């Protein structure tokens, strides 16, 4: 018989993560990535744990409490405007029944987003489609960027390349792995999206900056700046983990229309040259992702409603554990 319990000891939650999570595919799957945002947001944390009759671990659900929304989210709760950011989440469980039991034990309302259906063979009970991520697989084009371009109809390709060709005629250079370029990205991103930018929240910005520093120290950071006529026109930051390149964020100078397309084509060309397994442009409703023939990857979400009249001491216990 499966036993379900709640734990709020962070060290035990870290051990459960290491023992039960699937082998990491990209940087979002790493405990260290999530800890940078946990330290910045300081959300109360619990783990919903499933154990078999002999005490063997059968499932694990790491959650963070978002007080302003009165809801649990996937750890570490790095929200802005009620939306988390880290993608490809998964809840390891022995089977569907175990996962259902853990979800039933969640102490209150929950909004669990960006669940990757490819990481869970039996699906997510009660899940609905969330946002769609977009991927590029260089191997599908024989690691040949020109072969990828040749897959477009001639008229479509001509239209796609028109703006980038105009920019290239002005002189394009690329600068790599300059940490100072990240500040340009933050500034341009906030100018473009205002309060809707994740970086508008100083907690998210702090977590992201700490993540970049850690990625740099581990040799996984990739910063790409496109310079036109000597001016910084666009900056993207990402991480390469075992051949999986995640493009984490970007910012562009609006004085250079088409520069986002230019730098994205550069990512694809470089990924082909380096024979990377995948380039992940994450979620986000940007039309260029479909125009560039990226592969859509729908992610899933689960919403759990709070049960009226039920007292949930787990929130208070998690808050107390955070102060220790």
3 with 313: CB under 8 angstroms? no
Contacts of residue 119, defined as CB under 8 A and 6 or more positions apart, other chains included, come to 22, 25, 88, 90
Residues 226-236 have pLDDT tens digits of: 999 999 999 99
Asked if residue 111 belongs to a domain, the reply is yes
Asked if residue 227 belongs to a domain, the reply is yes
Judged against a pLDDT cut of 50, whether residue 324 lies above it is answered with no
Asked if residue 176 belongs to a domain, the reply is yes
Judged against a pLDDT cut of 80, whether residue 315 lies above it is answered with no
Same domain, yes or no, for 157 and 259? yes
Same domain, yes or no, for 261 and 165? yes
Judged against a pLDDT cut of 90, whether residue 322 lies above it is answered with no
Q: Kindly indicate the confidence band of residue 320, based on its pLDDT and cuts at 50, 70 and 90.
A: low
Same domain, yes or no, for 237 and 127? no
Could you tell me the pTM of the whole model?
0.93
| Residue 83: closest CA among 97, 69, 103, 63 | 69
Same domain, yes or no, for 142 and 272? yes
What domain range includes position 240? 138-276
Rg (CA), the chain: 21
Q: Which two tokens stand for residue 294?
A: 């990226």
Same domain, yes or no, for 184 and 115? no
Residues 120-143 have pLDDT tens digits of: 889 899 999 999 999 999 999 999
Q: Which residues pair with 174 in a beta bridge?
A: 226
Task: Return phi, psi of residue 69, to 5°.
Answer: -105, -5
Sheet of strand 128-136, all strands in order from the earlier edge strand to the far edge: 3-7, 45-51, 57-66, 71-74, 110-115, 295-304, 128-136, 278-283, 244-252, 231-241, 221-228, 172-176
Tracing tokens 């709640």 back to the chain, one arrives at 6
Residue 99, SS3? Answer: helix
Q: Which two tokens stand for residue 136?
A: 């590029």
Q: Which residues pair with 66 in a beta bridge?
A: 71
């Amino acid at each position: 018989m499966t036993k379900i319990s709640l734990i709020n000891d962070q060290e035990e939650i870290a051990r459960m993560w290491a023992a039960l999570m699937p082998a990491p595919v990209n940087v979002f799957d790493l405990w260290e990535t999530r800890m940078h945002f946990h330290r910045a947001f300081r959300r109360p944390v619990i783990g919903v744990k499933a154990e078999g009759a002999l005490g063997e671990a059968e499932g694990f659900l790491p959650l963070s409490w978002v007080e302003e929304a009165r809801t649990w989210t996937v750890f570490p709760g790095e929200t802005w405007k009620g939306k988390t950011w880290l993608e490809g989440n998964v809840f390891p469980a022995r089977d569907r029944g175990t996962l259902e039991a853990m979800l039933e034990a969640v102490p209150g309302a929950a909004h669990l987003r960006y669940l990757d259906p490819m990481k869970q063979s039996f699906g997510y009970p009660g899940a609905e489609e969330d946002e769609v991520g977009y991927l590029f697989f260089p191997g599908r084009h024989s690691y040949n960027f020109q072969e990828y371009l040749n897959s477009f109809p001639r008229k479509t390709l001509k239209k796609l390349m028109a703006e980038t060709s105009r920019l290239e005629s002005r002189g394009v250079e690329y600068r790599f792995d300059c940490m100072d370029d990240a500040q340009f990205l933050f500034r341009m991103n906030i100018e473009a999206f205002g309060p809707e930018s994740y970086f508008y929240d100083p907690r998210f910005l702090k977590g992201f900056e700490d993540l970049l520093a850690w990625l740099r120290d581990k040799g996984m950071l990739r910063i790409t700046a496109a310079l036109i006529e000597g001016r910084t026109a666009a900056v993207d930051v990402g991480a390469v983990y075992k051949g999986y390149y995640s493009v984490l964020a970007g910012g562009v100078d609006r004085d250079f229309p088409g520069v986002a397309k230019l730098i994205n084509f550069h990512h694809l060309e470089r990924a082909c040259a380096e024979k990377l397994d995948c380039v992940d442009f994450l979620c986000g409703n940007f039309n260029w992702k479909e125009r560039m023939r990226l592969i859509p990857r729908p992610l899933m979400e689960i919403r759990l409603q709070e049960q009226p009249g039920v007292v949930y001491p787990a929130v208070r216990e998690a808050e107390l554990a955070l102060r220790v």
